[in-house]
């Protein structure tokens, strides 16, 4: 194994300060990219998708649980598989308490093509409490390009899709796949993919921080058991 070079504390601090300049530049570039993402147009969803969850059959609108936004994790679990994807399972293991997302009007759910009768025991085995739905009876996975054909063979791939709700109208705002998932999992990284973002006053475009009629994002952070629905 090749280890880092051994230097004095003074040399380490100098090297660290040099790297910090680049890290700050990367942060500013990331903020600019997030703002450009929030500036993307959106597409209204007029297709009736059917999902199955703990309460039976449901529609895409119902997955919002009354909130303004929905982040869907496309979990690879084909109908013929006996268990979910290991990499997707590692991703869900990283998802923290959903109260912080929900306080910003954003719901999170996993969706897989496997029937719910297979999802339920695997979810219990993993000890997850996040909402997880089956899209077995719909074209949802195909329309959002996570169930595809490669060399004429069916293939599943991971992804995240974001949706925005305006009353009973649902809009698709963003999707990313595979390496686009690198670094995701925390509340802020998931919010950065959405149209409303973190809802901070400094974010561009202006006006979305107050979209939910609540204080800006960082001002509403609480212990997860202190949030009010």
Q: Kindly report, residue by residue over 59-106, the tens digit of the pLDDT.
A: 999 999 999 999 999 999 999 999 999 999 999 999 989 999 999 999
**Mean confidence (pLDDT) of the chain:** 93
Dist CA 208 CA 196 (whole Å): 6
Q: What is the pLDDT of residue 214?
A: 59
In the predicted structure, residue 211 carries a pLDDT above the cut 90: no
Q: Kindly report, residue by residue over 17-45, the tens digit of the pLDDT.
A: 999 999 999 999 999 999 999 999 999 99
Confidence of residue 213 (pLDDT cuts 50, 70, 90): low
In the predicted structure, residue 140 carries a pLDDT above the cut 70: yes
Q: Kindly report, residue by residue over 107-119, the tens digit of the pLDDT.
A: 999 999 999 999 9
Dist CA 69 CA 50 (whole Å): 19
94 conformational bin, left if phi > 0, alpha if psi -120 to 50, beta if neither: alpha
Q: What is the pLDDT of residue 118?
A: 97
Whether pTM exceeds 0.75: yes
Q: State mean pLDDT over 160-172.
A: 97
Q: What is the pLDDT of residue 38?
A: 95
Dist CA 129 CA 6 (whole Å): 45
Look at residue 107 and give its three-state secondary structure. Answer: strand
In the predicted structure, residue 218 carries a pLDDT above the cut 80: no
């Amino acid at each position: 194994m090749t280890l880092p070079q051994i230097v004095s504390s003074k040399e380490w601090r100098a090297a660290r300060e040099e790297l910090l300049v680049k890290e700050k530049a990367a942060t500013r570039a990331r903020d600019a990219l997030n703002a450009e993402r929030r500036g993307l147009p959106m597409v209204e969803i007029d297709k009736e998708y059917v999902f199955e969850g703990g309460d039976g059959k449901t529609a895409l609108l119902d997955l919002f649980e009354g909130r303004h936004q929905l982040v869907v994790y496309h979990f690879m679990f084909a109908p013929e598989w006996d268990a979910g994807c290991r990499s997707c399972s590692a991703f869900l293991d990283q998802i923290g308490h959903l109260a912080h997302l929900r306080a910003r009007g954003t719901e999170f759910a996993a969706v897989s093509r496997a029937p719910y009768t297979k999802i339920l025991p695997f979810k219990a085995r993993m000890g997850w409490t996040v909402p997880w739905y089956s899209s077995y009876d719909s074209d949802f996975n195909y329309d959002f390009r996570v169930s595809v054909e490669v060399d004429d063979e069916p293939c599943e791939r991971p992804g995240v899709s974001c949706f925005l709700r305006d009353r009973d109208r649902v809009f698709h705002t963003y999707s990313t796949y595979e390496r686009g998932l690198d670094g995701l999992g925390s509340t802020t990284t998931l919010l950065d993919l959405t149209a409303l973002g973190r809802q901070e006053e400094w974010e561009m475009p202006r006006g979305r921080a107050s979209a939910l009629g609540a204080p800006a994002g960082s001002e509403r952070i609480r212990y997860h058991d202190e949030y009010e629905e």
